[in-house]
Amino acid sequence: MFRLLRLKPPHGWNAVGWELAIVTLGVVIALAAQQAAETINQRHETAATRTAFIGEIEDSLAILELRRTAEPCVDRRLKELRAIVDQWGRTGSFTAPRWVSQAPWFWLNNLRVDAAQSAGRLSLFSNEEQYRVGLVAGNIRMFREIQAEESQAWSTLRMLQSGPNVLSANDRTAIRLALQDASVLNYRAKIVVGQTLPIAAGYGWRPDVSRFRLLVPRGWKGGRFTPSICIDIDTPPEQANREANLAFPVPD
């Protein structure tokens, strides 16, 4: 008949219990330490990402502020061009402007925000922070798209510098459409700028022109930003490009 074996640890069950408790405690401490390290790393990553986001956003807000300073000049030029096109329609001729120029164009990007969104790092933020970053960055992206469309419209408007003897009836139609497009895009730009700056200010974000000051010499000689559209419409192109300090002259 088989006998039931009774297991008995050399130092008794109490010793086994203590050993298991010590091992379990060690595992718990290790897991807690790992969790603490991950939490600290996550906080550092969140703080670094937040700093990068806000820096990029405030750089872009400076561009919006510069556009706002040039708005009176854009409005005036659109009014002048509409008068020219209306005269062309009434009389079949017009006095050719010498300097149509264009709405200010600035380099804008959301590279850090876009990259972070692709990598899923926005999830590090609270829902409210995600909303704020998404709202302001989305408006800046919209303004960038408006600028791209404006460039095309203003390139067509500069055809007026060629004068009525060179332009055809089809050209007049294209110019009238471009004028309408430029007016609508300018209106949209005003809305985006007028809404984004105060919204961002409410979040504690302000325009930061420091980076723009570093880059401005690449676009304007002497490092002085001068909106070319603010120069009088009857100014010869060579003189206007000179007065605007443009490193790259506005194309005809």
- Pairwise CA distance, residues 190 & 170, whole Å: 30
State the average pLDDT over residues 151-167: 96
A 10 A CB-CB count for 232 gives 14
Closest of 185, 212, 217 to residue 60, by C-alpha: 212
Answer whether residue 238 shows pLDDT above 60.
yes
Domain limits of the chain?
14-243
Residue 69: CA atoms inside 13 Å, Cβ hemisphere, count?
A: 10
Closest of 204, 206, 225, 205 to residue 214, by C-alpha: 225
Answer whether residue 62 shows pLDDT above 60.
yes
Answer whether residue 35 shows pLDDT above 90.
no
Q: Tell me the pTM.
A: 0.78
- Pairwise CA distance, residues 180 & 77, whole Å: 13
> What does the pLDDT read at residue 218?
75
Q: Is 133:60 a contact under the CB 8 Å cutoff?
A: no
- Pairwise CA distance, residues 104 & 82, whole Å: 19
Q: Facing residues of 246 across strands?
A: 220
